[in-house]
Amino acid sequence: MTLPLLAIRDLHAQAHEKEILHGVNLTIFPGEIHAIMGPNGAGKSTLSKVLAGHPTYTVTGGDILLNGQSLLALSPEDRARQGLFLSFQNPIEVPGVSNVKFLHAAVNAIRKARGEERLDEESFQKLLAEKMALLGCRPDFATRDVNAGFSGGEKKRNEVLQMAVLDPVMAILDETDSGLDIDAMKVIANGVNTIMTNDKGLLLITHYQRLLNFISPTVVHVMMEGRIVATGGADLVKRLEAEGYDWLQQGGISHAQP
Ligand SMILES: Nc1ncnc2c1ncn2[C@@H]1O[C@H](COP(=O)(O)OP(=O)(O)OP(=O)(O)O)[C@@H](O)[C@H]1O
Ligand SMILES: [Mg+2]
């Protein structure tokens, strides 16, 4: 039997004494793409940050398992070394550190944790060039400081470039599509589809069907008020697009995963 890649079990989490996640359950098997939709303030970004180990959030119950190992006691860096990747809804700028330097250091930290040899300058440049071509990045992406002065769409593209270079086993993309023009979204969706192989997992947080037309999710979940309240397929996305979320508040709980 295949083991889940990511298992979120009855996860409760709070920030500043206020509980935001009220028992989230989600299981992602290798090769699966899950999408989470849900209204503003539902807890989607909180879930992604709790998975990544963001220090603002405290887990008060439940567990997060990556390949059967609990992540709760691990630092964000150690979670990344285990193969977890999170792209932020609002990517941070790191002035003074070039993308090349940042990515080279990050790749080697992860390779070290896996017991692999470090990539030398030349091999890394080759890897970076290949991934930049895959994602249609402008050449100055490499030499510019991380996200500094990048447009909204460029930051999103840069996050996916980081993902492509780091090659995580489990990636979470938080609203990577927001702010992308149509052409950029197609290129990035294509890139994500190329990166995504059947040993990996992907969790996409999005507000709109349009991204899901390019990256086909295995399952779609709806999160509301800190819980997954419905799980389904393409039909669910279509209904949400047409009717919004109100119908789920009126007894929609029965659609939830057991
Ligand atoms: N650090 C924090 N301190 C206090 N409240 C927080 C904190 N982080 C999140 N919240 C609250 O938790 C709720 C969920 O926020 P979150 O950012 O997870 O929503 P979201 O589903 O990602 O929404 P959006 O679709 O707008 O991105 C919101 O009411 C938010 O104000
Ligand atoms: Mg959010």
Q: Which pLDDT tens digit goes with each residue over 16-39?
A: 999 999 999 999 999 999 999 999
With a pLDDT cut of 70, the percent of the chain lying above it is 97
Q: List, for residues 130-150, the tens digit of each pLDDT value.
A: 999 999 999 999 999 999 999
Q: Which ligand is nearest to the CA of 44?
A: 1
What pLDDT is stored for residue 249 in this prediction?
78
Q: List, for residues 195-230, the tens digit of each pLDDT value.
A: 999 999 999 999 988 899 999 999 999 999 999 999
Of 177 and 170, the structure prediction assigns the larger pLDDT to: 170
Q: List, for residues 166-176, the tens digit of each pLDDT value.
A: 999 999 999 98
The three-point CA angle 20-26-28 to 5° equals 140
Cβ neighbours around 123 below 10 Å, total: 12
Mean per-residue pLDDT of the chain = 92
Question: How many whole angstroms from its chain centre is CA 228?
Answer: 17
Neighbouring residues of 29: CB distance < 8 A, sequence distance ≥ 6: 2, 4, 5, 201
Q: Coil, helix or strand for 145?
A: strand
Length of the chain: 258
- Check pocket membership of 43 for ligand 1, CB cut-off 6 A: yes
Model confidence at 253: pLDDT above 90: no
- The residue type at 203: L
Select from 14, 44, 88 the residue to mutate for testing ligand 1; criterion: most ligand atoms less than 8 Å from CB.
44
Range list of H helices, the chain: 44-52, 76-81, 99-113, 121-134, 140-143, 152-166, 182-195, 209-214, 234-243, 246-249
Of 1 and 45, the structure prediction assigns the larger pLDDT to: 45
- Check pocket membership of 178 for ligand 1, CB cut-off 6 A: no
Q: Which residue minimizes the CA distance to atom 30 of ligand 1?
A: 41
Model confidence at 254: pLDDT above 80: no
Q: Coil, helix or strand for 204?
A: strand
Residue 95 parent element (H or E): strand 94-98
C-alpha distances out from residue 31 to 37, 89, 141, 198, 202, Å: 20, 24, 30, 4, 8
The three-point CA angle 133-138-140 to 5° equals 120
Nearest ligand 1 atom to alpha carbon 56: 1
Q: Which residue minimizes the CA distance to atom 31 of ligand 1?
A: 41
What pLDDT is stored for residue 250 in this prediction?
57
Model confidence at 251: pLDDT above 80: no
Question: How many whole angstroms from its chain centre is CA 2?
Answer: 22
With 0-12 / 13-18 / 19 or more C-beta atoms within 10 angstroms meaning exposed / middle / buried, residue 11 is buried
State how far the Cα of 214 lies from the Cα of 210, in Å rounded to an integer: 7
In the CATH hierarchy, which fold is given to the domain comprising 6-255? Rossmann fold (3.40.50)
Q: pLDDT grade, residue 257 (50/70/90)?
A: very low
Q: pLDDT grade, residue 256 (50/70/90)?
A: very low
What pLDDT is stored for residue 178 in this prediction?
87
With 0-12 / 13-18 / 19 or more C-beta atoms within 10 angstroms meaning exposed / middle / buried, residue 89 is middle
| Residue 253 DSSP label | G
Nearest to 72 by CA among 22, 12, 113: 12
Model confidence at 129: pLDDT above 90: yes
- Check pocket membership of 38 for ligand 1, CB cut-off 6 A: yes
* Domain ranges for the chain: 6-255
CA of 140 to the centre of ligand 1 (A): 34
- Check pocket membership of 90 for ligand 1, CB cut-off 6 A: no
Q: Is the distance from CB of 220 to CB of 37 less than 8 angstroms?
A: yes
Q: Which residue minimizes the CA distance to atom 5 of ligand 1?
A: 15
Q: Which ligand is nearest to the CA of 24?
A: 1
Q: What is the model's pTM? A: 0.93
